[in-house]
C-alpha cells in the first residue's frame, strides 16, 4: 500500500526529471502524483487501484490542459510562414536609406528573432514605426508605418 508521502516523493522526482528532459511533458505526471498524495492525505482509505487511476486521470487532464490552453499562449512566431508576418509593425533602431541597411526591433519575436536586419526604398529615421512588406532571405523589406 502506498502512503501519501510516496506519491509526493514520486511527484518531486518526476518534476526533477523534467530538468533532464527538454520536452516539458514529465512535469504534468509529477504534479498529478503530488495531487494523488494530497488526495491520499485527505482520504487515506483509497485503494492502490484507485490511486493509480487517479494519478493517470490527473496526469492526462493536466497534459490536455497544457496542450489545449496553456502552450498556445507561449508559442512565438517561429515556424510560421514569411507571408504571415507581412504587416507586422516594429521600431527602426538605426537610420536607413535605399543604399544602407538598418535594424528593426519588434515587440514580440518574429520568426524567432526580435531584431532583424532590414532595408527600405526610402530614407527613414531611427525611432520611426515601420511595417514589414516582405521577408527576403535574412533581411526584411520595410516601409514607414502610417
Architecture in CATH for domain 82-144: Beta Barrel (2.40)
Longest dimension (CA), the chain: 77
Closest CA to 90 of 143, 136, 43: 143
Q: Is the pTM of this model over 0.85?
A: no
Show the beta-strand stretches assigned E in the chain.
89-92, 102-110, 113-120, 129-136, 139-144
Domain boundaries, the chain: 4-74, 82-144
Closest CA to 77 of 66, 86, 64: 86
At residue 75, the pLDDT reads: 46
**Residue 30 and residue 13: Cα distance in Å, rounded?**
7
pLDDT means per 10 residues, the chain with 146 residues, are: 94 90 84 96 94 97 86 52 77 92 88 86 93 86 90
Amino acid at each position: 500500500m502506498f502512503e501519501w508521502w510516496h506519491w509526493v516523493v514520486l511527484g518531486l522526482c518526476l518534476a526533477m526529471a523534467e530538468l533532464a528532459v527538454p520536452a516539458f511533458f514529465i512535469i504534468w505526471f509529477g504534479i498529478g502524483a503530488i495531487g494523488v498524495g494530497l488526495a491520499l492525505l485527505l482520504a487515506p482509505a483509497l485503494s492502490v487501484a484507485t490511486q493509480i487511476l487517479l494519478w493517470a486521470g490527473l496526469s492526462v487532464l493536466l497534459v490536455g490542459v497544457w496542450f489545449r490552453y496553456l502552450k498556445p499562449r507561449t508559442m512565438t512566431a517561429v515556424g510560421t510562414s514569411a507571408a504571415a508576418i507581412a504587416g507586422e509593425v516594429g521600431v527602426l533602431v538605426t537610420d536607413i536609406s535605399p543604399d544602407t541597411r538598418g535594424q528593426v526591433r519588434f515587440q514580440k519575436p518574429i520568426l524567432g528573432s526580435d531584431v532583424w536586419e532590414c532595408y527600405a526604398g526610402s530614407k527613414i529615421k531611427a525611432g520611426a514605426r515601420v511595417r514589414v512588406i516582405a521577408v527576403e532571405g535574412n533581411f526584411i523589406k520595410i516601409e514607414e508605418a502610417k
